[in-house]
């Protein structure tokens, strides 16, 4: 995250520290949950994410699949980011974790980033993980709109 301090005042330094701590807490919650990912489903228009169910056995995005292992490994390199972005298309997805938590994500088709709908924070995939991230989503249905 590119934080620039333009003043040496104590107030600005404290505010910047609180901002970083707040972002780190959100990053830990999101990345921690993704590190426990067990399944992921795409939520289509008009469907309720709260009723999303785990994929059937043998689904490529279900428990124990290579895709879920890829998602877990990518989670370690995620970083929060607050740049303004232009969305060119996205998937809505729900990720279920081994602890029973559900993350609602809006995943960019082209940008290598996603938004955790629960916190409203945007996360960027590390450049080294970008090919695996793109491959993870290449088999999904094209986005609508």
pLDDT at residue 64 greater than cutoff 80: no
Report the chain's mean pLDDT, rounded to a whole number.
74
Domain segments of the chain as ranges = 10-138
Q: How is residue 130 written in tokens? A: 């970008």
pLDDT at residue 20 greater than cutoff 80: no
pLDDT at residue 22 greater than cutoff 70: no
pLDDT score recorded for residue 61: 79
Task: Determine the Cα–Cα distance for residues 31 and 37; give it in Å rounded to an integer.
Answer: 10
Q: How is residue 126 written in tokens? A: 């590390």
Nearest residue to 126 via CA among 51, 74, 53, 87: 74
User: Which fold would CATH assign to domain 10-138?
Assistant: Immunoglobulin-like (2.60.40)
The answer to whether the pTM exceeds 0.85 is: no
pLDDT at residue 70 greater than cutoff 80: yes
Asked if residues 5 and 27 have their Cβ atoms less than 8 Å apart, the reply is no
pLDDT 10s digits, 30-53: 888 888 889 888 887 767 777 888
**E-assigned strand segments in 29-78:** 37-42
């Amino acid at each position: 995250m590119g934080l620039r301090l333009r003043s040496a005042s104590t107030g600005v330094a404290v505010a910047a520290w609180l901002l970083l701590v707040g972002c780190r807490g959100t990053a830990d919650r999101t990345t921690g949950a993704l590190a426990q990912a067990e399944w992921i489903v795409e939520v289509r228009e008009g469907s309720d994410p709260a009723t999303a169910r785990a994929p059937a056995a043998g689904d490529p995005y279900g428990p124990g699949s290579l895709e879920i292992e890829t998602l877990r490994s990518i989670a370690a390199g995620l970083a929060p980011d607050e740049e303004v972005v232009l969305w060119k298309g996205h998937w809505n997805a729900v990720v279920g974790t081994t602890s029973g938590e559900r993350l609602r994500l809006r995943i960019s088709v082209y940008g290598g980033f996603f938004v955790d709908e629960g916190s409203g924070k945007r996360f960027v995939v590390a450049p080294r993980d970008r090919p695996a991230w793109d491959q993870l989503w290449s088999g999904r249905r094209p986005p609508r709109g």
